[in-house]
Amino acid sequence: MALCETASVAVGIDIGGQSSKIGIVDREGHILGRSVLPADGDTNPDDFVAKLAEAVRALIASCAPDSPIAGVGVGAPNANFYTGCISHAPNLPWANGKTVPFAQMLSWKLDDVPVTITNDANAAAMGEMKYGVAKDLKHFIEITLGTGVGSGVVVDGKILYGSDGFAGELGHSCVEMDGRQCGCGNRGCLEAYASATGVARTAREWLDSSDEPSSLRQLTKITSKDVAEAAAVGDALALRVFDYTGTILGTKLADFVHFSAPQAIVLFGGLARAGELIYAPTIKAMNARLLPIWKDKVKLLFSSLPESDAAILGASALVWA
């Protein structure tokens, strides 16, 4: 596989529990080609990496056969930028309960092309800094509001990795002592309240504890999208769910501002699509709890990256960093 310092394209890979998305990306952020490798339950890391390498080779051959490859960037759960390993990732059967030297393994399968990995939220922050609304910012926090709450902290134009490569787990900061059970094993984490899953959980809890009329009662399984659609047409309970969620999120964002003094906080992910429903209570609560030196100074922005492309762009941006 071609490799040179003047290479014009990179490979971006987003590894998830359901599939791995692969893209060939040029320096300007144009995705030249995409492919998807469905998860098939591999429990052996060697098997998974071999299939992924084959898929990468096939994509390069189909859309960039004559373009030297600068490197491969990967965003994945529990990925460590320092070590190149993926450790104890419960949603990846081949990395559940073990530490996999993923970057080294994939690089070897691709004839020693450089491979850089980080966790998916950090990759999203890299993409935002390279191609999105944070392009001119050196200090910002990317908050991914999806099934969970991820975060990438950028200080002086660099991702904050900490001493061990795992810094920035803001979604697991506590918002309520002995609160809801979180998937991490602790209780009261921000993720248990301000994620898409948390919004649906709040709605269900409130419906079960009252007889308040709501269109959501007609649904056997509630998603955050359902709550947003109900709120958009004036459902009172759904509106209060977003006010409650935004207040919790904004309160914690104020803590994050006190910690790193960012120029902006960027919201990304499925829950961010709720727009003003989540924005209004979040910015209100954040500014209400900020010290005067930061009040009304820190911007709250929505990501400008297409959600379907953001993970690939963010991963590929690791190559150009």
Condensed to tens digits (0 to 9), the pLDDT of residues 212-245 reads 999 999 999 999 999 999 999 999 999 999 999 9
Side-chain-side CA neighbours of 158 within 13 Å: the count stands at 7
The predicted-structure confidence for 242-297, as pLDDT tens digits, reads as follows 999 999 999 999 999 999 999 999 999 899 999 999 999 999 999 999 999 999 99
CA-wise closest residue to 142 among 309, 320, 318, 305: 305
The two three-digit tokens of residue 115, written as one number: 């491979």
**DSSP letters spanning 96-158:** TTSEE-HHHHHHHHTTT--EEEE-HHHHHHHHHHHHSTTTT-SSEEEEEESSSEEEEEEETTE
Summarize the chain as % helix, strand, coil (round to 5). 40, 20, 40
Specify the 3-state DSSP secondary structure of 8: coil
Q: Give every CB contact of residue 118 below 8 A, 6+ residues apart in sequence.
A: 74, 75, 79, 80, 81, 126, 159, 161, 318
Residue 6 has pLDDT above 80, yes or no: no
Tokens of 172: 């697991």
What's the predicted TM-score (pTM) here? 0.89
Rg (CA), the chain: 20
How far apart (Å, rounded) are the C-alpha atoms in residues 83 and 52? 20
Q: Over the stretch 175-201, which tens digit does the pLDDT of each residue have?
A: 999 999 998 889 999 999 999 999 999
How much is the mean pLDDT over the chain? 93
Q: Which of 129, 122, 139 is nearest to 262 (CA)?
A: 139
Task: Please name each of the domains of the chain with its CATH number.
Answer: 9-126+309-320 (3.30.420.40), 135-304 (3.30.420.40)
In 3-state terms, what secondary structure has residue 299?
strand
Q: What is the pLDDT of residue 140?
A: 98
Query: To the nearest whole percent, how much of the chain has pLDDT over 70?
Result: 98
CA distance 270 to 260: 25
Tens-place pLDDT, residues 142-168: 999 988 899 999 999 999 999 999 899
Residue carrying the six token digits 């954040």: 286
Give yes or no for residue 4 having a pLDDT over 80: no
